[in-house]
């Protein structure tokens, strides 16, 4: 059996300047992902810091 | 033709790692990069990480840069902020970009970033223009098709990403130079020294004791019993309790126990761990950190679906000499294993672990637990970390699940490394028992059906490719041509349905159909002809897998065939089966 170089080499992109057509959509989506993660992180910090706010006291 | 057809001079290679997962994934990535930097010391390594997980990377001085995700406080224009961030990080041109983010929670974020950042060669998962997630390379498809779907196999996450990047480097940059090894990465002091504030309890500890650490949260309440046993029986041992949050265990005041849970930050944690000889922990990122700094781990992992489930091996401790106990945490078993490895220097292997359990009157506790020891396999056995049974009395033939687990891992090695094990020798080493033989016989029939289906699939895909390639225009065609293409398409769908039916009957073969599905999901061709060509390849790969699995099955069944033994004078011929027992076959 021979390893398949085509599948293992990754995607070769001839022109590094070539950007995807929907760059703005991707940036919006990435911002949303980061934003929602930040909100989750803030919520986790608040609940760790203050058990009263979690309703456990 | 690609700009990278000829290997790039190594010193010019810059590699961007996208690792937006949890801290345990960051540690595994560092473990992989340790090997890469050792073999290709000239590469410039850049790392993208979420800011919450960036602390360890700041202590690695051979990373060229560490890029954190931007903070997006509510109310600010997050899109503008992210756009600016992307613009800043694309300033240097990367030769290779590898997305190693695996955890479901962060996979989408990392895939989008992977699509946005330009690089000459990309590996890992990315977001397509329709925002679905696909993979650039075979190892990433493998992770998505098998590891994400809970199909167990014996290749550790760290080994997967290490092999993925090293293979890509070999293709694009040429062979590594083993003589030029970068020594800093192999040192025990992996992280550069940073002034750390050490709690006075630890600074003033008795230095003549041998200290072991216990991670409280991942072990649970019964960890206290383990501590009490160690204190009672080992006057030369000191114990330190670690954890992200303060734990309120009621341990009697004793200078041999120091509770540092909730009291350490990353730098002081590294310092404390590096001064311990063992860490007792359940599944937690601290296990990956300990592996990274060569601290031996006694890993306690609850059984999965069954006691013999080996799913935990994909993310267990990495390196030589770690011990793993699979069972609900039992302090007496953890103590027995810990005390055995503590005294290894003394008995030097003359005492077996099971004898040690017997000495402690704990032999019966072994019935509902499994104990393993980790080892880095030599390259001729496939390399990477493996976990071997540490109880010699259970050095019996594997159960079917363990057999499949090994065979699946070997399929991946054959597919992606072009490496074939000596099947006969390996099967002989594994052994066989009646229940294993029975299950293998059961799958053999399903395997032969899959063999025929994958061969037929390749033939139909070839016919489709020929028909489509003969078209003058891929979009405009005659009614007759269209009918021929539709006919081939229908046949392919039928074959896929039949493959799914085989897997319904024999779910242990799901890995093969998931692999096919993943390859289909990642078709890149824009025309019918190109896609048909990729489909041929997909069926051929599945067929290679089926054939290798069938070979393992055949060789294991041969082990069970009765063998004539030379009769002693006056005795009759006897047929012996596996393990020397009279054959039942």
Residues B284-336: tens digit of each pLDDT: 999 999 999 999 999 999 987 778 888 899 999 999 999 999 999 999 999 99
CB contact (8 A) between residue B106 and residue A13: no
Element of type H or E holding A37: helix A23-49
CB contact (8 A) between residue A11 and residue B86: no
Q: Is B324 helix (H, G, I), strand (E, B) or coil?
A: strand
CB-nearest to B69 from A3, A29, A34 is: A34
Tokens of B495: 């074959």
> Rounded mean pLDDT of chain A?
70
Percent share of chain B, pLDDT over 70: 91
A43 close to B (CB below 8 A):
no
What DSSP designation does B175 have? -
pLDDT band at B584 (very low <50, low <70, confident <90, very high): very low
Give the span between the Cα atoms of B474 and B105, in whole angstroms. 40
Whether B579 shows a pLDDT value over 50: the answer reads: no
CB-nearest to A30 from B82, B167, B168 is: B82
CB B139 within 8 A of CB B160: yes
Whether B393 shows a pLDDT value over 60: the answer reads: no
Give the span between the Cα atoms of B122 and B51, in whole angstroms. 23
Q: Is B259 helix (H, G, I), strand (E, B) or coil?
A: strand
Whether B505 shows a pLDDT value over 50: the answer reads: yes
* B85-136 per-position pLDDT tens digit: 999 888 778 999 999 999 999 999 999 999 999 999 999 999 998 999 999 9
CA B142 to chain CA mean position, Å: 11
A52 close to B (CB below 8 A):
no
User: Which residue on chain B is closest to A41 by alpha carbon?
Assistant: B52
pLDDT, position B575: 43
CA B103 to chain CA mean position, Å: 13
CB contact (8 A) between residue B79 and residue A31: yes
CB contact (8 A) between residue A13 and residue B118: yes
Of B166, B262, B260, B161, the closest CA to residue B213 belongs to B260
Whether B361 shows a pLDDT value over 50: the answer reads: yes
A39 close to B (CB below 8 A):
yes
pLDDT band at B573 (very low <50, low <70, confident <90, very high): very low
Give the largest CA-CA distance in chain B: 95
pLDDT, position B9: 53
List CB contacts (< 8 A) between A2 and chain B. 418
Could you tell me whether strands B257-259 and B237-242 are parallel, antiparallel, or unpaired per DSSP bridges?
parallel
pLDDT band at B582 (very low <50, low <70, confident <90, very high): very low
A44 close to B (CB below 8 A):
no
* B465-500 per-position pLDDT tens digit: 999 998 887 778 888 999 999 999 999 999 999 999
List CB contacts (< 8 A) between B137 and chain A. 7-11
A 10 A CB-CB count for B326 gives: 24
pLDDT, position A50: 37
A 10 A CB-CB count for B401 gives: 19
Whether B578 shows a pLDDT value over 50: the answer reads: no
Instruction: Give B427 to chain A, closest Cα distance, Å.
Output: 19
Percent share of chain B, pLDDT over 90: 67
* B330-353 per-position pLDDT tens digit: 999 999 999 999 988 888 778 899
User: Which residue on chain B is closest to A45 by alpha carbon?
Assistant: B52
* B123-175 per-position pLDDT tens digit: 999 999 899 999 999 999 999 999 999 999 999 999 999 999 999 999 999 98
Give the span between the Cα atoms of B420 and B431, in whole angstroms. 19
List CB contacts (< 8 A) between B122 and chain A. 10-11, 13
Contacts of B428 (CB under 8 A, 6+ apart): B559
C-alpha torsion sign, points B441, B447, B448, B449: positive
pLDDT band at A49 (very low <50, low <70, confident <90, very high): very low
CB contact (8 A) between residue B136 and residue A10: yes
pLDDT, position A39: 74
pLDDT, position B396: 58
pTM for the full predicted model? 0.89
CB B323 within 8 A of CB B371: yes
CA distances from A45 to A40, A51, B177, B244, B527 (A): 9, 11, 47, 13, 51
pLDDT, position B585: 28
A56 close to B (CB below 8 A):
no
Q: Which of A20-24, A38-42, B366-370 has the highest mean pLDDT?
A: B366-370
What DSSP designation does B327 have? S
Angle at B235 between CA B231 and CA B237, to 5 degrees: 70
Task: Find the radius of gyration of the CA atoms of chain B.
Answer: 27
CB contact (8 A) between residue A9 and residue B171: yes
| A10, A13, A17, A47: best to mutate for the B interface, most B CBs within 10 A | A10
């Amino acid at each position: 059996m021979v390893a398949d170089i085509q599948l293992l080499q990754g995607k070769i992109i001839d022109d590094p300047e070539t950007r995807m057509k929907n760059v703005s959509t991707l940036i919006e989506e990435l911002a949303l992902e980061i934003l929602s993660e930040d909100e989750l992180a803030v919520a986790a910090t608040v609940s760790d810091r203050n058990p009263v706010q979690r309703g456990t006291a | 033709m690609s700009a990278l057809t000829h290997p790039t001079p190594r010193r010019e290679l810059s590699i961007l790692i996208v690792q937006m997962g949890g801290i345990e994934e960051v540690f595994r990535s560092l473990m992989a990069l340790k090997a890469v930097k050792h073999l290709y010391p000239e590469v410039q390594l850049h790392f993208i990480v979420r800011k919450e997980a960036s602390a360890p990377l700041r202590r690695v001085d051979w990373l060229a840069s560490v890029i954190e995700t931007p903070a997006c406080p509510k109310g600010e224009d997050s899109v503008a902020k992210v756009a600016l961030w992307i613009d800043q990080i694309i300033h240097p041109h990367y030769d290779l970009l590898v997305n190693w983010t695996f955890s479901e929670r962060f996979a989408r974020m990392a895939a989008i970033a992977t699509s946005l950042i330009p690089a000459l060669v990309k590996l890992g998962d990315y977001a397509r223009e329709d925002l679905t997630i696909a993979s650039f390379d075979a190892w990433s498809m493998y992770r998505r098709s098998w590891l994400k779907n809970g199909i167990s196999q014996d290749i550790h996450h760290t080994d997967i990403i290490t092999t993925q990047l090293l293979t890509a480097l070999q293709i694009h940059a040429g062979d590594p130079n083993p003589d030029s090894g970068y020594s800093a990465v192999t040192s025990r002091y992996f992280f550069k020294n940073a002034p750390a504030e050490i709690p006075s309890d630890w600074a003033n500890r008795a230095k003549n004791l041998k200290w072991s650490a216990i991670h409280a949260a991942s072990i649970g309440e019964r960890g206290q019993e383990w501590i009490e046993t160690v204190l009672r029986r080992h006057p030369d041992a000191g114990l330190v309790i670690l954890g992200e949050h303060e734990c309120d265990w009621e341990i009697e005041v004793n200078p041999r126990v120091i509770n540092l849970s909730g009291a350490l930050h990353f730098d002081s944690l590294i310092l404390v761990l590096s001064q311990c000889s063992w860490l007792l922990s359940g599944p937690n990122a601290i296990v990956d950190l300990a592996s990274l700094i060569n601290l031996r781990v006694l890993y306690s992992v609850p059984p999965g679906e069954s006691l013999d489930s080996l799913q935990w091996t994909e993310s267990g401790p990495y390196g030589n000499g770690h011990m793993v106990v699979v069972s609900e945490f039992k302090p007496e078993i953890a103590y027995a294993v810990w005390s055995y490895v503590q005294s290894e220097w003394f008995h030097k292997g003359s005492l077996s672990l099971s004898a040690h359990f017997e000495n402690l009157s704990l032999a019966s506790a072994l019935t509902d637990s499994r104990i393993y020891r980790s080892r880095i396999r030599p390259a001729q056995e496939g390399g990477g970390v493996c976990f071997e049974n540490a109880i010699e009395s259970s050095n019996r033939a594997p159960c079917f699940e363990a057999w499949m687990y090994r065979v699946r891992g070997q399929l991946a090695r054959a597919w992606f490394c072009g490496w074939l094990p000596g099947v006969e020798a390996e099967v002989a080493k594994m052994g066989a028992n009646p229940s294993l033989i029975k299950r293998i016989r059961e799958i053999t029939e399903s395997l032969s059906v899959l063999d025929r289906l994958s061969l037929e699939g390749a033939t139909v895909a070839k016919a489709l490719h020929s028909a489509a390639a003969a078209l003058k225009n891929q979009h405009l065609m005659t009614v007759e041509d269209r009918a021929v293409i539709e006919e081939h398409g229908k046949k392919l769908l039928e074959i896929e349905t039949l493959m799914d039916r085989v897997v319904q009957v024999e779910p242990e073969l799901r890995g093969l159909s998931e692999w096919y599905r993943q390859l289909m999901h990642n078709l890149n061709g824009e025309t019918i002809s190109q896609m048909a060509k990729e489909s041929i390849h997909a069926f051929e790969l599945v067929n290679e897998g089926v054939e290798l699995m069938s070979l393992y099955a055949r060789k294991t069944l041969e082990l069970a065939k009765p063998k004539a033994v030379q009769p002693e004078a006056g005795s009759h011929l006897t047929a012996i089966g596996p393990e020397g027992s009279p054959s039942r076959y």
